[in-house]
Chains A and B, each alone.
Chain A
């Protein structure tokens, strides 16, 4: 049970911002939210993670709702190279595994 819900797919135009939503309504107070992506024919790649506060790094931003029941991964200016499946994962520190859902397939239109 992935315990997160994401849309199956989303489309966006190149050079526009992309907001990828994730629902995790049953999240516990200590679960972190991790995002990974998987480009075609490649291994998963870490994108970002957070607990309560919004987070920024060179790849993306993560906006976490105040009640922590949902979060949004933001790609500020999508490129064709951002076309991938994006996974939102709840992670409990101390567990050794990540439980993966089906993810959102992001399609970037030129």
Chain B
């Protein structure tokens, strides 16, 4: 079965530094998402992306966050100035069509902000 690929699997950074989390969605998918999960807590929606623009974003996705699909295959999440509370597992997901298609998730990037 096709897979969503995320790199790196672990990222350690200093507070205030910029990080870019990378994802390669499934090739014919059209809708892309970032979710995060703080250790021991619920999965939280961050942002959805379609047709090269943000479709919807949560309150978590503030000005420090941005997403980009730079080359038609990669989908990136950038955090400009990381905070301690950004430490979490970040999951990328993709979907082919909108209505009731299942989401395919990557295995995540564990971000640790020191």
Contacts and interface: CB of A to CB of B under 8 A. Distances in A.
Contacts, number: 56
B84 interface: no
Interface in A35-50: 36, 38, 42-46, 49
Interface residues of B, number: 24
B22 to A, nearest CB: 15
A101 B45 CA distance: 12
A32 B101 CA distance: 11
A102 B42 contact: yes
A96 B56 contact: yes
A44 B45 contact: no
B98 A93 contact: yes
The majority secondary structure among interface residues of chain B is strand
Interface string A88-110: 00010111111111110000000
B58 interface: yes
B105 A44 contact: yes
B105 A100 contact: no
A94 B98 contact: yes
Contacts of A32: 100
B100 A99 contact: no
Contact of A96 (B43, B44, B55): B55
Contact of A46 (B58, B99, B102): B102
B107 A42 contact: yes
Q: Which 3 A-B pairs have the closest CB atoms?
A: A43-B105, A96-B48, A46-B102
Interface of A: 2, 32, 34, 36, 38, 42-46, 49, 87, 91, 93-103
29 contacts: A2-B42, A36-B103, A42-B107, A43-B4, A43-B93, A44-B103, A44-B105, A46-B102, A46-B103, A87-B43, A93-B98, A93-B99, A93-B100, A94-B98, A94-B99, A96-B33, A96-B48, A96-B55, A96-B98, A97-B45, A97-B48, A97-B56, A97-B58, A98-B45, A98-B103, A100-B43, A100-B44, A100-B45, A102-B42
